[in-house]
Amino acid sequence: MNIGQANMKLYDGGRAPNPRRVRIFLAEKGISVPLEPVDLGGLQHKSSGYTAVNPMQRVPALELDDGTVLTESIAICRYFEEVQPEPALFGRGALEKARIEMWNRRMELHFLSLVSHVFRNSHPAMKEMEKPQVPEWAEANKPRIADFLGFLDRELKSRPFVAGADYSVADITGLVAVDLMKPAKLSVAEELGSVRRWHAEISARPSAKA
């Protein structure tokens, strides 16, 4: 799909969860954007070149034809939603849009961020990026993640997707959070059948490979 931005590029971070959110979103929309890889392991995002793109030294970042740079995964996704509204991943109408916003925030603030704290504060590969690593903070987040997943499991008993009958950006945030659990050495408990069913379904979508 051509969205009228010939030189647009997306600064990407490989397996990192936030750039992946944007890649999955684009795959669902059928939009292709040239990727500019940023080597997080090699701390390329701290280089002066990338700092000039995003002074916050984080990925993803989207650069438009006129040099405008957008950061924050959800802001980037919202840009694409406006440029190409279908399929609607932020919902339609006042109530659905608000519900998806509510769920996306819940998935970010009470799930993805917490898994990220565990990963960043416990994994040896994150030593250079998370300074100082605080193992106690990793431990403190584990029961909170388990509580949230229990809550999510009860919610998902009555509907196929996180925010309702349709797949949305809240599912994308949830997918990358569950997938980040593996390197964080966490797992979804066996008895959380609804979370497991939901995760299996959204993982089977072609976009999940993005």
Ligand X SMILES: N[C@@H](CCC(=O)N[C@@H](CS)C(=O)NCC(=O)O)C(=O)O
Residues that bind ligand X (CB under 6 A): 13, 16-18, 40, 45, 57-60, 72-73, 129
Residue among 109 and 189 whose Cβ is closer to ligand X = 109
Residue among 11 and 198 whose Cβ is closer to ligand X = 11
How far is the C-alpha of 203 from the C-alpha of 64, rounded, in Å? 30
Q: Minimum distance between the CB of residue 209 and ligand X, rounded to whole angstroms?
A: 18
Q: Minimum distance between the CB of residue 112 and ligand X, rounded to whole angstroms?
A: 9
For residue 19, cis peptide bond before it (omega within 30 degrees of 0)? no
Q: Minimum distance between the CB of residue 20 and ligand X, rounded to whole angstroms?
A: 8
Residue among 156 and 177 whose Cβ is closer to ligand X = 177
Query: Are 184 and 1 contacting, i.e. CB atoms less than 8 angstroms apart?
Result: no
Q: Is 10 helix (H, G, I), strand (E, B) or coil?
A: strand
Q: Minimum distance between the CB of residue 14 and ligand X, rounded to whole angstroms?
A: 9
Query: Are 25 and 89 contacting, i.e. CB atoms less than 8 angstroms apart?
Result: yes
Q: Is 205 helix (H, G, I), strand (E, B) or coil?
A: coil
Residue among 72 and 166 whose Cβ is closer to ligand X = 72
Q: Minimum distance between the CB of residue 154 and ligand X, rounded to whole angstroms?
A: 27
For residue 87, cis peptide bond before it (omega within 30 degrees of 0)? yes
What are 70's two structure tokens?
């957008």
Residue among 16 and 188 whose Cβ is closer to ligand X = 16
C-alpha 154: how far from chain center: 22
